[in-house]
Structures are given as structure tokens and as C-alpha cells.
Structure 1
Amino acid sequence: MIPVILSGGSGTRLWPVSRQQMPKQFCDIFGEPLQTLTLKRCLRMGSPWIVTSKALQTLTELNLKANQGDGANQGEAVKVVYEPVGKNTAPAVAALCKLLLDQGKGDEIVGVFPSDHLITKEDAFLKVVEFASAVAKENRVVTLGITPSYPETGYGYIQTKTTSLKDQAGLKAYSVVKFHEKPDLKKAEEFISQGGFSWNAGIFVFKVSHMASLFEKHQPTLWNQISALKADASNLGDIYAQVQSISIDYAIMEKLSEAELACVPADFGWSDVGSWDAVAALQKGQDIINVKGKDNFVFGEPTKNYSMIGLEDVIVVDTKDALMLVKKGQSQDVRHVVETLTQAKSPLVKEHVYEYRPWGYFEILKDTENFKSKIIRVNPHSQLSYQSHAKREEHWTITQGSGEVVLNDQVIPVKAGSHVHIPLGAKHRMRNNSSEMLEFVEVQLGTYFGEDDIVRYQDDYSRN
């Protein structure tokens, strides 16, 4: 099988931890990022592909680099397709099929897996995928359904026939009667009592050539556009400028007949981690001192003490620049907070106080009208771009490690305790040529401190 990880999302449902520039699959919520857990799971099936946004390239590459050496050189095993802009799942799957056809892999079976789902019963999951692959070889698109344990209103449902198509080792595949949108509570209760309904997990398995033929049949315009994609995907930007934004469910799945589509219902400890209520149900959270209160949950700063007095069923999410409190059962309404912040053009929707770069990361300590300060960490044998600023000067104080500052082509050795002044307009870069992390504090003085006040002259990572 060729496992394919779809990694996208706007990062709003788990705000304030998840944000547009750090969506939930890269957040450390369960000990390891969901992207890491998904990648490790997919490596057990074959050599994975990742289809993701160009905007997430740095996070994707850092995640791959962090997972190298885990029994396989994942950086070499994984192929990545960077979409210039998100156009939903149908163009992503169509582009993938075209690239695989160009490689002569039309008869291969593909499994498509969201990067931000949690699966706690991995062995059971892999058996379900193996069974679904066998069904997909018979030219059926196979969806994985989740056996519902309660009348959930936050998921779509898959209605199946009662007689199975194929049985194997306790698993059964059924023809699909209909996809149902997220129901209200009364309708969800009817689904559960009636039987033959599964939650739609957004996981599906197919043969490459068969899916390509379905695109040609049901989405001829889209497939005609995607068919112009070069084998090296170098013209993907031009093609994505034309294609319609549409989900694979609307584009293909809901147009298939009972003979073309199958569902394998199963229980493998699945969650789409779609809300803080889901997170609170899946983990203990931080220790809390409860006084005359109970059933509270905190996801916050590990060095802080959290105490609750007279409160019950409260979820607290605490980051360095935002605090959210919500009653359990109402965390889906976080979207209203995000909408309000978006209308106010608040950076809290997009950015954290820390940001990752290919060379390391920085954390904003203070941001005022008069100055901005950061702590910057540069990975071993890495360097910042050679750059200048038009609206600010900078002061660098080295706090850990050693390296070199290049200032207007002059090389200045630095170590812990060194200070370097970067005048306005001067070309400069920090270089860590050691095997240890280099850390320094940067204080900016000037009239504007935005990240876009950068002119790059040399860059190891081909950024503009």
C-alpha cells in the first residue's frame, strides 16, 4: 500500500494552542504531535506521501527531520507534495493520482489518512486497512467507518446495507447506501437505534487507476486540468490557480453507486480531536487543586500552579499570550472567539509568541512601540539568512553556545557573554558552526518591528 497523509487545516478548533501557522497536527498535545503519530503509523504500511500546504513546509520538514532514525530514514522514505494554496481534498487526491500514474503505479492501492486524527488501537487499525485494501482491489472505493458509541452530532454518518459484501477475520465490508451530513441530536439518536450507520472518519482506500477513472467520469473539468500536471509537479501552481475548491466527498464519494463504494465499520480507538472536549476526554490534563469543585481540566503551562474554587466541568486552556475558559460541552463554540479575533485582525489567530524556522526558532519576549525583544535559538551547523532591515537596528547578546556573526562581510567570533550591535541597514547573519545549540537575546530598536522588514541577500532555504 501507498499511505498518503493529508496535512492541512486552519488551526482554529483547538485555539489558542492550535493556530493558522501552527495547526493542531504539529502541536504537542498528546506527548507527540499528531503528525508524528500519523507518520509512524503510516510507515508500518509502506513509504508514505504527504500532501500539504506550502505554508506548512517548514513545520513539515522539521517534523520529518525530527523523526529520522526511528528504525527507518523517514526523511528519505517520505515524498512530499506542497500545494501552493489549499483547494480542499479533491484536487489533492487528483494530483496525487496523476503523479502516481506518471510513475507507473496505477495498480497500487492508496490509503488516505488525515494527519490530525488520533488512533489508540494501532494494530486493530492496521488490520482494518489491510482488509479495506483487499476490497479496494476489486475496483471499489472503500471508506472506513467508526462504529458509533453514542449519538454524536459533530460527525457525518455513512449508511450501509445490512448484508455484507466481504468478510474476513471478523471484519465486514458493506455497500454504502448514503452519506448523511452532521445530524441534529434527534436524527443522530434515530441513526443509532436503527443500526447500519457509522461515523465518517474521512479515511478512504482505493486503486490509483480506478480513482483516476472516477475523476474522469464525475469531475471531467478538474481531471482535465490536473492531467496537465508535470511529473515533477513543477507547474502545480499554475494548475491550482484554475481548479475548483471541492472536497473528495462532494466531488466523488457521494456520486458513486452501491456497486462502486464500500464501507468497513470498525472500532480502533479513533478521534478527530475536533474540540477541547475531545482532548479532555482523551487525557488527564495538568494537576489541579480543586476546592469545592470537580471534573475540571487544564491544558496549560507546565510550570504554573492551577487552582479551582467552586468550579465544576470547566476546561482551561492557557498559553503564553492567551487564556480561554469554557464549560465542558460547549468547546465547539471556540469558533466564535476565533471569528471575533479575526474581525479585529488580531495576530492571535495566526501566530504564537514563538515561531519555527528551518534554522531553529524564536520566542517573542516583549513587543512594545519602543522596542521588541526575542530569544533566538539556532540549531547546530545552521545559519540565519544574510539580511538587512530598513526600519530597525538590533542588539545581540549571546547566552549559550558559540558561533559567528557576519556583519557587512566581516566575520566576528562570538560566545556566551558576547554582544554585537547591528546598525540600521547593515547586512548581517548569525552562524552556528558548532554541534551545540546557539542561543542569543535580540533587542530591536526602531520604528517598525514586523517580520516583513527583511531584505535577504543569501539564504540556505531559498526564501524570498
Structure 2
Amino acid sequence: MEAVNLGESAVIATSSTQVDMLQNQLGNSVNIAIEPERRDTYPAIVLAATYLYSVEKAELDDVIAVLPVDSFVEDRFFERVKQLEKVLLTYNADLALVGVKPTYPSEKYGYIVPFPNQCDHEIMRVSHFHEKPQEIQAQDLISQNALWNCGVFAFKLDYIISRLKTTGLPLDYQELKKEYKQLPKISFDYEVVEKANNVVALSYEGDWKDLGTWNTLTEEMQSDIIGKGMLSEDSVNTHLINELDIPVIGLGVSNAVIVASPDGILFSDKATSPRLKDIVKEFSQRPMYEERRWGWYRVLDHTKYEDGQEVLTKRIGVIANNNISYQMHLRRTEIWTITKGEGEYILDHEVKKVKAGDVLKIPVGSKHAIKAITDLEFIEVQYGNELVEEDIIRICMTWEEAVRKVMI
């Protein structure tokens, strides 16, 4: 997007758990509309629209383009996206989409089906949509000049804001976050796109791939194995991705994807891997690994005892010249054992240097923070009767402000 000068105007809609990772990768200046919870693409896009309207002060006549983050494309695809504004206004359409000209009858993608007998096959008025057809149906759709639906669409900001007005929900971003549960849990395609009457599609001919499933992602991997592990010679068209420190071995396994991470283990036939999204909806557990703006952490163990007490052990890494926020907890005691590097440490009204081998005890309710002078790692052991990430009161984020508060 930067290559076609779209980066500065971009807003990323994501959940709160992804914010630190995004800032770690893209910097703190990136605009982020934070979803209070996961509720599918329609609520996410509506919330992002209120961010543009109330925070960025966008005009109601401004044209907004929505793109998924998991597309694998060339820069000229984004040039096509830039043309959506002109197409939308020229055709006086409610929605303008980008559709990819199919290279084969795929069963993996949805199709945008145009009205018949249109002279222009570059910009077409849309008749209807067809979700993931069988190969024979897909071939027939292609003969009708149908395009792959890549989930890219544009509309005037007022198109969404006016819908929100009819519901009586707030137009202000911060206020809508408080009432986010009132928005229906449904995709933007089902709630808006497939119900719209005046839709046009702009065709794109070039490389495009949806990397939102394991079977498409593995097609772009340069190696069959990432991480510790082995696949036998008779394991054909199988990929192994291992984020753990222990090896994973696949014997005589074909057309499969094997993934091992701190959050779980997946063993799936590639053809059925798109069903994963529906299955994991039934699972709910805390993340076992997270990237943060200051570094990362990995949960090593979480034990719950019969008396209600819990012990949670983490390995935490802080990147040099970064710091964990000045904070306190109301339900847990923490013990930090520094295993690597040097840093500065605040506990209530004391600031001191720390290094590998130091052990630090943080009582319940104590204000604390740590800054890495060099890359720093420590083992954190939490003790309490309810160990959750929400048990945190952040007093300030920067080290300089934390030190000033200590000196008061």
C-alpha cells in the first residue's frame, strides 16, 4: 500500500489482542480501530467507519475502500483499488468491488456474477454472488464472465453511517465501542454486499491469492518444513510448521498440514483446512504466546489448585530501550527472575539497576515497571486466586513518565 501512496490514509481494524503486535511491526503511528471483541466483518467495518467519521473527521462523501489483510498480491493490485473511487462515482453505485479474473475453475473462492450481455468486461454491473461452487458450476460461472470475489469493496462513508443512524446506535467511535454487542454478529458480505441492488465490479487480471486458509498459505511457502521436525520421503504435498522447541515428525502423511504452536496443535487434510475457522469458535483459552510493543511473552505453565490458588509461569522478553508499562495488580503477587541482560526496575518509589541472576518480588498492589538497557529476559511467576490479563491497572506507558511519578 505504501508503494501506491495508500499507507498514510490506512486504518487497520483489529481486536485489542493484536494491537501491540501491529505497533511492534508497523510503529506507533499506525491508525487502529480496536474491536472490543470479535464479532465478524460487518461490526468491524461499521466500527472502522465511525473511527474515520468521528476521529479522523472524514467527510460523508469520502470514498472508503475495505481490504482483507491476508491477500497475496502485486503492487498493481492496489493501483486497481485506487480506481474504485472513480468507478463508484461514475456509475453512481452503492458499492464498487474488485474482482479477480479467474485462471481456473476454483472451488475455494466465491464468485461475482455480472448481468449478461454487457459490452464492457472491465467494469460490470453485478447481478448476484455465488459462494464456493463445485468445479463444474465454477466452469459455467467463468463462461458468464464471473470474477473471483476477493473481499475488496468501496463505498461512500455515508453509505455506512446512514445505516447506523437508522439503528439509533452512536456515530462516535468511543461510544459505539461501549455498545458494540448491539451490532449483529454477521459478515459484511451477508449483511450488506449481497443485499445491495446497485453494485459494480472492476476486474483485475493478475496474481492474487487469499492466504486466509492453510491450504493456500502453504502454496506460497518456500520450504516444506519450518522449525524443528522431519517429514518422510513418502509424505507428499505435506507441510510442517513447528513453533515449539521439541521436534515434530511426520511419517507417510500426504496432502496434510501439521502445525504445532504454544496455542495448540493442528493436523489437517489440506482440502478440509478451511473448516478450521468454524471449529475453533468453540474453543476459548488465553493466548499462550503474544507479541507486545515492547517485546513478547510465552506462557510456560498454568496450574490451578484445589484451594482456588493459581500459579502462572511466563518467559518474558523485552527489547533493548523498551519498557513494560508502569502498572499494578490487585489479585496477584509476582516474582521475576532475570535470566538475560541488564535493565532498570521500578518498585513503588525505588528505581534500581537489575541484571541476570537478580530475583525481584512484587507484592499485590505494588506499582512496578522494567526497562531493558540491553535485550532483557526474565521468568515471571504469578500467584493468586484469579490470574487473568485483565488484572492490570496501567498508570503510564513511557519510562520517563514513570520515573517522574516515582520522584514526586
State the Cα distance separating 1:302 from its structure 2 match. Answer: 8.4
- Counterpart of 1:396, as a letter, is W
TM-score (normalised: structure 1): 0.70
Distance verdict in 2 for CA 1:437–1:312, change over 3 Å: same
Distance 2:269 2:244 in 1: 22
Runs of 4 or more consecutive aligned structure 1 residues displaced over 6 Å after TM superposition: none
Q: What SS does the aligned partner of 1:234 have? A: helix
Q: Which one of 60, 75, 78 corresponds to residue 122 of structure 1?
A: 75
Return closer, same or farther for 1:163/1:189 CA change in 2, 3 Å cut-off. Answer: closer
Instruction: Report the alpha carbon displacement of residue 227 of structure 1 after superposing the two structures with TM.
Output: 7.7
2:147 is the counterpart of 1:198: yes
Q: Secondary structure at the match of 1:114?
A: coil
Percent identity between the two aligned chains: 25
Q: What pairs up with 1:128-139 in 2 under 5 angstroms? A: 128-138=80-90, 139=92
- In structure 1, the gaps of 5 or more residues are 1-38, 66-74
Q: 1:236 aligns to what SS in structure 2? A: helix
Per-residue CA deviations over 1:13-33 (Å, capped at 9, x if unaligned) read xxxxxxxxxxxxxxxxxxxxx
Counterpart-to-counterpart distance in 2, 1:448 and 1:183: 51
Rate the CA distance shift 1:179–1:84 in 2: closer, same or farther, 3 A: same
Q: Matches of 2:260 and 2:135 in 1, distance apart?
A: 31
Matched, 1:420 2:360: yes
SS at match of 2:217: helix
State the one-letter code of the partner of 1:48: A
**Would you say how many aligned residue pairs link Structure 1 and Structure 2?**
384
Offset at 1:432? 0.9
Residue type at the aligned position of 2:124: Y
1:25-78: per-residue Cα shift (whole Å, max 9, x none)? Answer: xxxxxxxxxxxxxx646754652122333454333433331xxxxxxxxx44x4
Residue 111 of structure 1, CA deviation: 1.6
Give secondary structure in 2 for the equivalent of 1:326: strand
Shift of 1:82: 2.5
Number of the residue aligned with 1:291? 233
**CA–CA separation in structure 1 for the residues paired with 2:367 and 2:207:** 51
**Alpha-carbon deviation of 1:453?**
8.1
Residues 113 and 146 of structure 2 are in contact (CA less than 8 Å); yes or no, is this contact kept in structure 1?
yes
Task: Judge conservation of contact 1:397–1:440 (CA < 8 Å) in 2.
Answer: yes
Is 1:144–2:84 an aligned residue pair? no
What is the Cα deviation at residue 95 of structure 1? 5.2
| C-alpha deviation, 1:189, in angstroms | 4.1
Give the AA of the match of 2:371.
N
The verdict on how the C-alpha distance between 1:405 and 1:105 changes in structure 2, with shifts beyond 3 A counting, is: same
Quote the Cα distance in structure 2 between the aligned partners of 1:451 and 1:116. Answer: 30
The residue aligned with 1:58 is 20
Deviation at 1:263, TM superposition (A): 0.9
Alpha-carbon offset, residue 98 of structure 1: 5.7
Deviation for aligned residue 1:143: 0.7
Change (3 A) 1:108 1:440: same
| SS of 1:334 mapped into structure 2 | helix
The residue that corresponds to 1:429 in the other structure is 368
Contact map agreement 2:331 2:387 (CA 8 A) in 1: no
C-alpha distance in 2 between matches for 1:134 and 1:368: 58
Report how far residue 305 of structure 1 moved. Answer: 5.8
User: Are residues 163 and 63 of structure 1, via their aligned partners in 2, closer, same or farther at CA, if it must alter by over 3 Å?
Assistant: farther
- Tell me which residue corresponds to 1:69: none
Structure 2: runs of 5 or more not aligned: 306-310, 399-408
Q: 2:188 aligns with which of 229, 242, 248?
A: 248
Q: In the superposition, relative to structure 1, how do residues 59 and 155 fare at CA in structure 2: closer, same or farther (>3 Å)? A: same
Q: How has the CA–CA distance of structure 1 residues 432 and 235 changed in structure 2, closer, same or farther, with 3 Å as cutoff?
A: same
Q: Report the AA paired with residue 75 of structure 2.
A: E
The two structures, once aligned, show a CA RMSD in angstroms of 3.5
2:324 maps to which of 360, 364, 383:
383
Is contact 1:225-1:242 (8 Å) kept?
A: no
Contact 1:98 1:226 in 2 (8 A): no
Q: Deviations over 1:225-277 (max 9, x none)?
A: 478424xx3322355354444443344333433xx321122233222223211
* TM-score, length-scaled by structure 2: 0.78
Output aligned runs, 1:388-427, within 5 Å.
Answer: 388=329, 390-391=331-332, 393-422=333-362, 424-425=363-364, 427=366
Instruction: Check if 1:360 corresponds to 2:295.
Output: yes
